[in-house]
Chain A
């Protein structure tokens, strides 16, 4: 692909195509601090400031900012925690709301100027978030049911007849302990990465078509128009993926806490 693009663009500038080295900030400690690290710090700071300012001076009749933070928190607590986990879900409200806001902010970085790429489009960050979730739901399940009980809850579906268990148990084990964390991480990563990719293709496609010849100028305009439309789609996907990540965490926690069938 790069070969074709370079041919089309005739005189290729030195920064074309974008490389991994673009994420290395000049003058920083390279293996430890990259553009992604700084973006994660900024996301943490935004979430902290958002909630701390909202709760700095709480009133019974909330002001505008307090109303906003309370809406976000009650969405995480009631809309996700209580709806899916049940009354125990309130215990996990801080965790679920943190996931919601932290991932939401990081995903929205993907379409903001200067940031241009979501930190979650780097596989390391979804993997780290998934590791937290994986340890959490296994820990909760082990504490609630004990080792044997937890394995039973995780591998034997309710009402399965005895003769089908040899088939179902390995499949359920595979799906709950291996495929589950894998899909959780890859879903977030691939969504944000594909979104970044699509925006890049249409934005750079506009420049490339402009360079080809005068006849291609309308196509270039179409390409940029699509880039703008897809940016709005990306905003939707960014918020949806944050919501989905929190929902799936709640579902996994609920699965670990569920009573034995």
Chain B
């Protein structure tokens, strides 16, 4: 995952800015997943009998948001050669 390899000879620090970039990119989906689960917990607490009904949509929303974070991971490898 080396979008841009940083080599700083003075400090000897070697690494990739892609790791930092991916961390930043994961903030958005992290907030989104938090919102989805909080909404599910709230709705289940208010109406426990709806838990089974909304579980499908919980996972559906979860995976759609999660896909964004996974794009970051996949594209990190796809464009690592450049």
Contact = CB atoms under 8 A, between A and B. Distances in A.
Contact of A247 (B60, B66, B74): B60
Contacts of B60: 247-248, 251
A189 B62 CA distance: 16
A72 interface: no
B54 to A, nearest CB: 11
Contacts of B70: 186-187, 190-191, 194
Interface residues of A, number: 19
A181 to B, nearest CB: 12
A240 interface: yes
Interface in A179-204: 183, 186-187, 189-191, 193-194
13 contacts: A1-B16, A83-B56, A183-B71, A186-B67, A189-B74, A190-B70, A190-B74, A193-B73, A240-B59, A244-B59, A244-B63, A247-B59, A248-B63
Interface in B32-82: 56, 59-60, 62-63, 66-67, 70-71, 73-74
Contacts of A83: 56
B31 interface: no
A253 interface: no
B27 interface: no
A179 to B, nearest CB: 9
Given A1-B16, A194-B73, 4 more contacts: A84-B56, A190-B74, A247-B56, A247-B59
B14 interface: yes
Interface residues of B, number: 13
Interface string A211-246: 000000000000000000000000000001001100
A197 to B, nearest CB: 9
A49 to B, nearest CB: 29
A26 interface: no
Given A83-B56, A84-B56, A247-B56, A186 B71 contact: yes
A187 B63 contact: yes
Q: Which of A4, A190, A243, A244 has the most CB of B within 10 A?
A: A190
Given A3-B14, A4-B14, A194-B73, A187 B59 contact: no
B67 to A, nearest CB: 5
Contacts of A240: 59
Nearest to B75: A186
B46 to A, nearest CB: 22
Contacts of A3: 14
Nearest to B16: A1
A77 B37 CA distance: 26
Contact of A190 (B14, B56, B73): B73
A71 to B, nearest CB: 16
A187 B56 contact: no
Nearest to A184: B67
